Homo-oligomer: A and B are copies of this chain.
Amino acid sequence: MQIDVCVDLPPSLLARLRAGAGDLPVFMLEPDAASKAEIMFGNPDPSVVTGNPALRWLQLESVGFGEYAALEWSRAAGPAQVTNLAGFFADPVAESALAGILALYRGIDRLVLLQQRSEWQGAAIRESFRCLTGARVVLFGMGAINRRLSELLGPFGCAITGFASGYDPAALDQALASADVVVATVPHTPATRGLFGAARLALLPTHAIFCNFGRGSLIDEAALAAALTAGRLGGAVIDVTQEEPLPASHPFWTCPNLLLTQHSGGGSGDEMDRKVEVFLANLRRFRAEEPLAGLVNFSRGY
Contact = CB atoms under 8 A, between A and B. Distances in A.
Interface of A: 91-92, 95-96, 98-100, 102-103, 105-109, 111-116, 118, 120-123, 125-133, 151-152, 154-156, 244-246, 248, 253-254, 259-269, 271
A269 B130 contact: yes
A126 B112 CA distance: 19
B262 A121 contact: yes
Nearest to A118: B253
B109 A112 contact: yes
A96 to B, nearest CB: 5
Centre residue among A102, A107, A130 by max chain B CB count within 10 A:
A102
B155 A259 contact: no
A99 to B, nearest CB: 4
B126 A264 contact: yes
B115 A263 contact: no
Nearest to A265: B106
Contact of A261 (B108, B128, B152): B108
Nearest to A237: B108
Given A114-B262, A120-B246, A245-B122, A271 B127 contact: yes
A99 B109 contact: no
B269 A129 contact: yes
Nearest to A156: B152
B155 A125 contact: no
Contact of A95 (B102, B248, B268): B102
A213 to B, nearest CB: 12
A92 B114 CA distance: 20
Most buried by B among A115, A245, A269: A115
B253 A115 contact: yes
Given A118-B248, A122-B262, A152-B155, A106 B99 contact: yes
A99 B95 contact: no
A108 B100 contact: yes
A271 B131 CA distance: 11
